[in-house]
Amino acid sequence: MRFLIATARKDMLRLRRDWPALLLWIGIPLLVGGLLVLVFGGESNPRARLLVADLDGSLAGRLLTGGFTQGPLAEIVDVEGVDAAEGRRRMEDGDASALLVIPDGFGGALLDARPAALELVTNPAQTILPGILETTLDVELEAAEVLRRLFAAPIDRIAGDVERDGFPPDSLVASVAAAVNRTGAGASEWLLPPAIDLEIAGPADEGFDFGRAFFPGMLILALLFMSTGLSTDLWSERRLGTLERAMVAPRGLAGFLAGKWLAGAAALALVAAVGLAAGRWAFGIEIANPVLAFAWLAVTGVALLAGFTLMQVLARTERAANVLVNAVTLPLAMLGGSFFPFETMPGWMVAIGRSTPNGWALLRLREIIDGAPQLGMLAVSTLTVAAFLALSAWLVTRRVRSWAA
């Protein structure tokens, strides 16, 4: 045990002296998280800005724009009133998702069932948000057309009496109310209940939170790069001549390797702790179980370190080892959900990425962060990592002994 602790302490002191590399590894999650804040403005869900130039000022125009501020749309759409000239200027500057111009006489045209043209100018630099606004506007206009045809008789009576001064007579009010009631009763057969049944076959879509989807992959990416760098240490020990002395030490090469991996695990755990803290306090990512997430990241980091160390010693030269590890690291990072969340990848690529070691670890980490960990799966995974560490240690020590032969 003393030899193990001494070996780990020696490597930790070496890591401390190489503080620029340690700061770089710690800074990976902070840098990527900061870039997310810059890109998304600190918010995971982008909002659409709709500029409205209402040249009519009628009730119909207000009802039309009010539809964008009701229900779920209110969570993603900001409506701002402007005059037409200012709206066009701001659209040229890319300051909004769309500009809606309601022409003069729109309300009267709607009451008289006459054609009226609305103008919607969309921002070509955006794709999804302007499409949402355009689709919503189409639905509202279709609904207005249906209501105009359904209640044509009472609306025509109101429109025909619009020039009257003062309050309308009781007879007109009564006749309009009766016509509305008759029309509603006649349509009740297919309105109450609706003629179309809606069945939700899957879970409700709560929207795609890009920051939350990207954050776990960022943490795995930091561990991936760090374990790659730490795995070269055996070659450094060989160049310095300390590896030969460790091989003839009383505790042997196995204790030397265990101490080296223990020091690496401590450094990897430090990066994991910094990444989780930055995600929670700096970038506002809610983590359901931070302790379990930290433990899983530490386990993942040690497994990655063991795997890359095995790749290093299987190569014939240090240069070939670095080429091999770097050639494996980049595809793993791209396929395993670190560079791109699985939600944004093609289906065939997702199937491959989830089968990679880091992609598999990422899925477990996301379950922990979302508060839905599969404890049985985590237990089996931890035992699998322990068996992999034992096998890797045996293969590494056997390969390293062959260097001295």
The pLDDT assigned to 204 comes to 46
Query: 48-169: which CATH number, 3.40.1180.10, 3.40.50.300, 3.40.1710.10, 3.40.140.10?
Result: 3.40.1710.10
**What pLDDT does 27 receive?**
72
Q: Give the Cα-Cα-Cα angle 348, 223, 336 (nearest 5 degrees).
A: 0
pLDDT given at position 41: 46
Are 38 and 224 a contacting pair, CB within 8 Å? no
Q: Which segments of the chain belong to CATH 3.40.1710.10?
A: 48-169
CA distance 366 to 341: 11
Task: Give whole-number Cα distances, 248 to 11, 43, 162, 239, in Å.
Answer: 19, 57, 104, 17
Q: Which long-range contacts (CB under 8 A, 24 or more apart) does 147-152 make?
A: 148/110, 148/113, 150/183, 150/187, 151/179, 151/180, 151/183, 152/113
Q: Give the model's pLDDT for residue 46.
A: 63
SS3 77: strand
Rounded Cα gap, residues 352 and 360, in angstroms:
10
pLDDT at 36: 57
Q: Which amino acid is at 92?
A: E
Which pLDDT belongs to residue 137?
A: 87
As a whole number of angstroms, the distance between CA 35 and CA 383 comes to 36
**Helices assigned H by DSSP within 151-169:** 152-160
Least Cα distance to 96 among 79, 73, 72, 71 occurs for 79
Distance CA 405, CA 398 (A): 11
Give the C-alpha separation, 90 to 93, whole Å. Answer: 5
Q: Which residue has tokens 């090469």?
A: 253
Per-residue pLDDT, 391: 93
Per-residue pLDDT of the chain in tens (405 residues, 90 and over written 9): 676 677 777 777 777 777 677 677 667 666 765 665 555 544 445 678 999 999 988 877 888 888 788 767 777 888 999 999 999 999 998 889 999 999 998 877 877 778 888 899 998 877 778 888 888 888 888 877 776 676 666 666 665 655 555 555 666 556 656 665 666 566 555 555 554 554 545 444 444 566 677 788 888 988 988 899 888 888 888 887 777 777 766 667 777 888 888 888 888 888 888 888 887 776 677 888 899 999 999 999 999 999 999 999 998 888 999 899 989 988 998 888 887 778 777 888 888 999 999 999 999 998 998 888 888 888 888 899 899 999 998 999 888 888 765
Q: What is the pLDDT of residue 307?
A: 92
pTM, rounded to two decimals: 0.58
